[in-house]
Structure 1
Amino acid sequence: MELTNQLSTLFDQWNKDHLSFKNQGDFIEITTPFVDMHHDLIQLYLVEKKEKTPYVLTDDGYILNELQMLGVDVNNTQKRKDFFEITLKVFGVEYNKNSNELYVTFNTLEDYPKRQHNLLQCIIKISDMLLTSKNTVVSIFTEGITNYFETKNVIFSPNLGFIGKTGNQQTFDFVIPHSPKKNEKLIKAVNKPASDNYTNTLFPFTDVQSIRSNSEFIVIANDVNTPIADKFQSSLTNWEVKVLPWSQREDWVNDLLIF
């Protein structure tokens, strides 16, 4: 058997072994070999309707509901909205705002494989890019802080860098300038304040501490989904870096105003 035929046969057999269908009466439950952000198999649901587009394939709102439970809402910042809407267009997937469903429709069963492939690619891209990509999640958290500061009239400059004692530039997410009554504030945003994350967070502050001796050092920690670990808190506090819980922002935001 030629190699191309072998590959085709093996792939068909793999699909057969890893793709299952269960008739649930009003719909067919499809378990795919692809995994979500929890490493669980992604399930889809096929519904046959007596309409112009008789077949609907949907995730039943699962992916977006799971992301929301994990603190990732695709609609609460412009960056998320843009990413979400572009991804839907690329894969030809539709979105039901009322049920949070991601779904595709098609007229004939011959279109099923391609439409399922598009829906799966869309689901994987959304869950992966919004949840598991560290840079994207941190960027989204930083954007959330930016929007909040702007609504509260906090004056700041984003992404300013200072040369530290090591000779390297240390960049801070927000810098609030000094005023006649208040010191300059150097702020870093930390999306995951876990115990093993304090070293990378602390180093930029210690590197500029002697050079920016009149500055206040602050970390805004996202404690919505991950509690601030004791080791994270104590390690920063010992170096005179203040840790501000994001969930309590209404309590400390006025301290950041320069007037």
Structure 2
Amino acid sequence: MRSVNGFADGYLKWLTDNIHEEPVENGWMEIATPFLDRFGDGIAVYAKELPDHVILLTDDCALTNNTIALGGPMESKKLQSLRDYLAPYGIQVTDDGELQMKTTKGNYPIKFNLFIQAIVAANDMFAPRSSRDSVSKIFVDEIVSFFDKSEVAYTQNVKIEGQSGIIHQVGFLLPKHKKFPERFIYALNKPTKQNIELTLFNWSDIQRKRGTKSRMFTFLNDENGKIADNLVQALESYEALPIPWSKRDDYLEELAV
């Protein structure tokens, strides 16, 4: 197994070296990040200090307008699904599709990171499952149904602090069992190098903080065909078990308690 410490440190340095801030109009700050949306465009966040030392973070509707392309009335099922998905991150979605989060100066780094995690995750989760599906069919909901049907015990949307001090959102946490340690479960609807690296950083940073033997599983949506070998190997090299969605039943023993 490769050193998770080396991976986490290197990834964190890459992240901090590639975030750039620039003032724009009316007291707003544009924060350009190295992350890309599913069309390959850079993800930017906008921040503004409000009265009483409150900081407002927003994506300026980029996620809904440019990536999810909700269309139709904003009270649609798609918008409600987005609200439900982002609520555990502490993000509100306005009627016109703008993502917003409020924080204080002291909590700004933690909240900013959660905001970015949420945008990257939503870019992945709200992409069409396959060429036959609309974005209203969300991969994580399919996993919940699978767990419930298979009587897998889980806690959903768990926030855990890593060694770096960053708070990470974990999709599912399965409790420790006499045969298995605790298991972190992630879901990637459209597996890419970017979201696999972010997932590995989240897990390795958590591992360094907790100092306990845990396992990590990642459900990979393979409805559009086989997942690229290099992406599967990246997970395996850090002992993060990749589970193709089409073969999920084969792993019930590792998931059940």
TM-score (norm 1): 0.46
Q: Which has the higher contact order (CA 8 A, sep 6+)?
A: 2
TM-score (norm 2): 0.46
